[in-house]
Structure 1
Amino acid sequence: MINSELLKSFIAAADTGSFSAAARQLGRQQSTISSNIAKLEDELNIVLFDRKGKYPQVTEAGLALYDSAKLALNSAERFENSAALISAGSPVSLTIAFDEDLPLAPFMAWLQRIHKQYPIMQLKLVRKASTQIFDLVKNNQVDLALTPSLESNSSFYEFTAVGHIHYIFACGKQHPFRHKRHISNDDLATSTQLVATSMLDSQLVQTVAMSSQRWYCEGYDALLATLQANIGWAFLAVDHSAPLPEGIVTFTPEFSATQHSAQYDIIWPKNKILSDTERQLRDQLATVVANFSMNER
């Protein structure tokens, strides 16, 4: 395997047009650059530079190998960086679960940072109902998860409380509630309500389900699409720092004097020792949730 320092010297000399300029670019002595290129030529048994003139000229063979040299150097640097990350304790793979009733858009910038900061890490994103997420955590199939809080401490997971996520009363722009000035309890009770299927296995269904006419939607995207189709009204989790989703409006029933919200936790398997990377990602996710819910609409 060719030493990456030799490749760096060859590429720098080819790019700058002289051994002295390559030395300045790399912070080396000119003699080091000359020696490295000579070693590379010996290893390859190929003349890379014509040294007859005042400045060395890349030979045809050198030009033919230039692109391959850059690819080889980039691969070597990626290998070294990846090895350094693994050596420092960065996980090779990570599974993160999100409550399916939350929008993913507010978390995209955070996920992009993860991709940039940990390019070798294989990330698996899971979108499930909270009850399913708890089962996955219990079976050590999820490393970190964002879920609604349970009323009592669990025996199979650790957690960090990260704050409340607020919900709005929402309907489509063509729904009858859109232009109704006063919306009573009777109006809510006699109009189709869209309810997340995750609520079927939750005690919250008794407080969330306000209408006898219900459609159940699995996941945020299904709930949002059904709202946009003006089929019913719903409690909808929203990012208060961003505009409402297209085709959605909010309304305030007469009985509602307070903001509706749910407490959320970040959870992970009991007795799992989080790596430095996992602790950092947990804290970053907590900050995202805090920003997600800090501003009232």
Structure 2
Amino acid sequence: MNLTQIEAFCTVADTGSVSEAARQLECNRTKLSMSIKALEKDLDVALFVRSGNNLVLSEAGKAIYKDSQNLLVTASRIRQTCAQVCGEFNAEIWIARDDSLPDELWQDLSHRLNNRFPATAFNIVLASSGDLTNLVATSQVDFAFGVDYERIDDPLITFQPLGKIRLMSVCRSSNPLAHLRRVSDDELRKAMQAVMVYLNEKDNPELQPFSLRHIGFSSFDYMLNTILEEDAWGVLPEPLIRHLLRKQDLAVIKHTYGLTQEDYCMFTSSGMAEHPGMSWLADKLNEYLFDF
């Protein structure tokens, strides 16, 4: 049994296909099949059974799947730790963030990060809150920062809460919903809602539309513009809208779930050693949220 065989096993289990696993691992299909067979021979069990055109885990395969994932995570962590000891941090880091915190804050932190760690190139991309976990899990980015709507038990992802962020159901102050002493579920369902949408294939119940009529965006800022320009309502993070609440351009809807709290997190691959720049950035975001 070796790590190549374990990686082949986990990838086939995740994809249900030797061909797709070979494509993801960028290896020969025959070589990958031989790795699986060698692992099955070594363990003296069948790890997969065929179901239609797909391979599914046998009972033995199900029993060892999580431990196999943990083996890969541990091996990756060992490699990263050795690189860290040698001072060989990534020369380039990809970061995804949502826009729950003001752009001005991110612009300031981005410039300071670049000046503080000039040997590393930082690429920062904007993404929907609902896609952050998936972007890290699929290695499209190295780190992600944003609202954590649905923490899942995934050995591949580490969730580090940096602080609480308050989410508010709001509408324009002139919207009829703003003048109701208590807004019912039925009244909200009839009103146009601006909602968060995302590309991740996993359903997230907390991001599902509440209203019968809705328009979706991958950005809180686009949601905000729609709420201000149309008779719509939506759930937005307080740091993004506090100034508009103070100016009374926006009003909090008096509904049961008008105010909620979520964790603002740093999402990291479990095998990824934390770059000192990311530790610095996490500390600054923690300070901002604490002061806020």
- Per the normalisation by structure 2, the TM-score is 0.58
Query: In 2 relative to 1, CA 131–223 (structure 1 residues): closer, same or farther, beyond 3 Å?
Result: closer
Structure 1 position 145, deviation (Å)? 0.8
Whether the 8 Å contact between 1:193 and 1:215 is mirrored in structure 2 is yes
Tell me how far apart the structure 2 counterparts of residues 267 and 205 of structure 1 sit (CA, whole Å).
Answer: 18
Give the % identical residues.
Answer: 18
1:250 aligns with 2:251: yes
- Further displaced range: 161-170 or 234-243: 234-243
Query: In 2 relative to 1, CA 142–254 (structure 1 residues): closer, same or farther, beyond 3 Å?
Result: closer
Query: In 2 relative to 1, CA 285–143 (structure 1 residues): closer, same or farther, beyond 3 Å?
Result: farther
Tell me how far apart the structure 1 counterparts of residues 114 and 159 of structure 2 sit (CA, whole Å).
Answer: 24
In structure 1, what residue type is equivalent to 2:239? D
Whether the 8 Å contact between 1:110 and 1:288 is mirrored in structure 2 is no
- Per the normalisation by structure 1, the TM-score is 0.57
Query: In 2 relative to 1, CA 252–154 (structure 1 residues): closer, same or farther, beyond 3 Å?
Result: same
Highest CA radius of gyration, 1 or 2? 1
Structure 1 position 226, deviation (Å)? 0.6
User: Cα deviations across residues 39-63 of structure 1 (Å, max 9, x unaligned)?
Assistant: xxxxxxxxxxxxxxxxxxxxxxxxx
Query: In 2 relative to 1, CA 251–275 (structure 1 residues): closer, same or farther, beyond 3 Å?
Result: closer
Tell me how far apart the structure 2 counterparts of residues 170 and 114 of structure 1 sit (CA, whole Å).
Answer: 33
Matched with 1:204 is 206
Query: RMSD of aligned C-alpha atoms?
Result: 3.1
Number of aligned positions between the proteins: 202
Query: In 2 relative to 1, CA 219–201 (structure 1 residues): closer, same or farther, beyond 3 Å?
Result: farther
Structure 1 position 100, deviation (Å)? 5.0
Whether the 8 Å contact between 1:171 and 1:230 is mirrored in structure 2 is no
Show the 5 A alignment for 1:1-297: 91-100=90-99, 103-147=102-146, 148=148, 150-178=150-178, 180-185=179-184, 186-198=186-198, 201-205=203-207, 209-239=209-239, 243-244=243-244, 248-255=249-256, 259-291=259-291, 294=292
Whether the 8 Å contact between 2:171 and 2:253 is mirrored in structure 1 is no
Structure 1 position 237, deviation (Å)? 1.0
Query: In 2 relative to 1, CA 173–93 (structure 1 residues): closer, same or farther, beyond 3 Å?
Result: same
SS at structure 2 position matched to 1:233: strand
Tell me how far apart the structure 2 counterparts of residues 184 and 102 of structure 1 sit (CA, whole Å).
Answer: 27
SS at structure 1 position matched to 2:109: helix
SS at structure 2 position matched to 1:274: coil
Structure 1 position 269, deviation (Å)? 1.3
Structure 1 residue ranges, 4+ long, deviating more than 4 angstroms after superposition: 87-91, 100-103
Tell me how far apart the structure 2 counterparts of residues 247 and 112 of structure 1 sit (CA, whole Å).
Answer: 32
Tell me how far apart the structure 2 counterparts of residues 254 and 269 of structure 1 sit (CA, whole Å).
Answer: 37
In structure 2, what residue type is equivalent to 1:288? Y
Unaligned runs of 5+ in 1: 1-86
Unaligned runs of 5+ in 2: 1-85
Query: In 2 relative to 1, CA 204–254 (structure 1 residues): closer, same or farther, beyond 3 Å?
Result: closer
